[in-house]
Each structure stands twice: as structure tokens, then as C-alpha cells.
Structure 1
């Protein structure tokens, strides 16, 4: 095993221990939580090593980087998640490789994604990104729709060709009522998810929690955690 592969294996093992312990503490089965490894800023060679170590869910947040990486790794059995803010001029590219778009937050984006998915002959799972800081009037710039906008946006997705409403995503907010309180934010996300599933039973994904707060997300009931730094290491600064 190469040095980098051994490093990734050790990091994955530590993250696995954290998820397993969090599940045990919450009285949940380990298989209720899916690990998504966020590979942004790291090379396709790392994605290949992760695949060799059993990782099947990977995420990226910038199309320019993700498109090239997905092409280089097209021979691998991976599910690609797009988790960054998405501009409509990038949807045609994203729809060509992403299996899940986790950052859907407006009707115009849904319309563009639908057209791109149909053109590509693909069906995309869409998660609505919920921005809890939207309620505070102090938006952090991360994107997302306010909680009260979820039902309407879910209907738009459900009616769009080539798209499926698959659930919700959030990032622990930096400002507003839930700043510094990730567990409270994640609990609220689960409440919104329960309401969403009444109208859209298949929209059962709840993507929450990252390297620093995955335990809180698991305790709240998240189905997917997005972990980058804890697996791949501290990211290089972007110049």
C-alpha cells in the first residue's frame, strides 16, 4: 500500500469509528448513515485511491474541477454529488456527470437543470439546500432557500422532467439564530424533512454534517454526512 493510500485508509478508519460511535450513541444502525467524501481541491488520483478503499460516494463543489475529475474517473463505479452553489450556465456540464445535485435553491435553477438533464438523457436526484441564516436577514453567501420556501420548490422539482425530489441538504449556519448551534439546525432540518416526505415520500435523503459536526448530524437523524478534511487532510489554500 502506497504512503498516500495508507494515509487515506487510516483517515477513513477514524471517520468510520466516529460515525459508528455516533450511530451507537443515537440508537441508530450504522447502515442508516452514508458517508460522502468531499474531494474538492484533491486530484483524481486520490479519488481512485478512495475507490480502491471502498468509497462509492464522492462530492465536488466547483464544476470546472469536478467535470475533469469525473471524466478521468469515468471507469470507476462512483456516485458523484454536486454540493456547491450552481450557476445556470454550468448546469449542462453538471448534468452530464452528477448523480445528485445537493444545492438546488431556486426555480430558475430547477428549470435549467431539467432542460440539461433531458438533453443528456439522464435523471438527477435533487436535494433542496436549506439556508437557516435566510431567516435572520444576515445571509452568509452560501446559497440555499429559506425553510418556508421548501414545499413550493419541491413541487417545482417534482413536476420537472429529468429531476427527482430526493431530500434536503444544509450547512451549519455561521450567522443567525442557529449560529454555533449545529445540532439545533440539524434537528430543525429533520422536522422540515418529515413534512416534505408527507408530500414526497421518496424525498428521504437528509444531507447534513461535515468533518467538524458529523456527530451532531447523526444524532439529529441525518442520512448522509459530507466529510472532506477528516479523510483527505487540510485543504491547500486557494490562490
Structure 2
């Protein structure tokens, strides 16, 4: 597939652009110190994230009513707090749930996206809701051209409607849109809908549990070590 026709780059965000795991572990550890809660916060955060896919699949596959990611995160969080016998007031719970709005970018993300903006539209294409992604962009100083979200299409990735909808809402053909992600499954779904694909290698996304995706290069159009590398390959100043 030709990269020369690409006019817009749409990005997965969690793990690709921001280091969600380290960011949330740090916030949870601060909370633990303040509230004298001594648990394995790394495992707590991993369990929180592990509930994300099953919660979305109930909507994607089981006919549950559409709900935004903030609400799904809250459901998982409440179950985890209960299972760990952690007592927090409603303000503390809401603040903790909103830590997904306060994620720190990988060190290459801001400058890499800034460089890509010199030639392309750049947008999120995330399962995060619009409010979450907007707050995160402000917090992390991510210079997106626009915010696109699964919320707009009332479908979660990897549903076809998200990828086709992104091209449509940008008034572009799928072949004019490049999906950028650190997750092979996201890229394969985008590719099946006609988008160009770029893989960003994030070997530390899951900390000690991280593994590199094997054989990804044969399945995607561009392999990049980070977003700065992608900007180099796309000849952005």
C-alpha cells in the first residue's frame, strides 16, 4: 500500500503515545502512602487494565448498552477496591478513576507528533472517550490536530466502524489514513479496513511483563522504534 497518498495519521493512545502503566502506578503509590494502604500497586494497576477488554467485549459482542471508557474503568475500579478491602470516599474514588486522564507521554511523543504536524493531520483514534482524551492532551501537552474517539462512532476498536468512521469524518479515503499503534491487533483491524499501518515499538509498555510482537514487520507498512523515528521515515522536519 502506498504511503505517498497518506494525509492523516490516527493514533492509538494508551501504550503507543502515553506510558499508562507507570503513570497510574505512580498515582496509586502516592495514594497508598497518603492513606497507609500497603498492597502491590503494580498488580492492582495490571488487574485494572486487564478488566478493560472483557468490559468492552460485553458491549461489542454481548449487546450491552454503549458506555464510555470512563464508566467501564469505574466499574472495574470499584470491584478492585472491594476485593482489596480499600475504603475511599466518593471524591477520592472519582479522582483515582480520572488518573487515566493524567497519563504521561513517552519521551518521544510530543516532539514526534509536533514534527508529523508539519505534513499531516494528526488525531487520536482511541477507545478512550472524548473528555478523557481532551484532558489527557492538555495534561501531557500532546499537540493533536483533532480528537477522534470510539465514543463518536459508538463502537470500540477493533470494530470496523471505528476505522471506517475515522476516514469518513476526516473526509478522506481509507488509503489516505495511516493507523499508528503499538499493538498488532489494532493495526491488522485497520489494515483490513483499507488503512495504511505503522507499528511503534513500545517494549516497556507492560513493565516486566512486556514482550515484543513477533513477526509484525511482514504485516504492516512501517516499523518504527518510536514516534520520532516515524517522523524521520515520513520525512518530517
Alignment TM-score, normalising by the size of structure 1: 0.30
Q: Larger relative CO (CA 8 A, sep 6+): 1 or 2?
A: 2
Alignment TM-score, normalising by the size of structure 2: 0.31
Name the structure where strand makes up a greater proportion of residues. Answer: 1
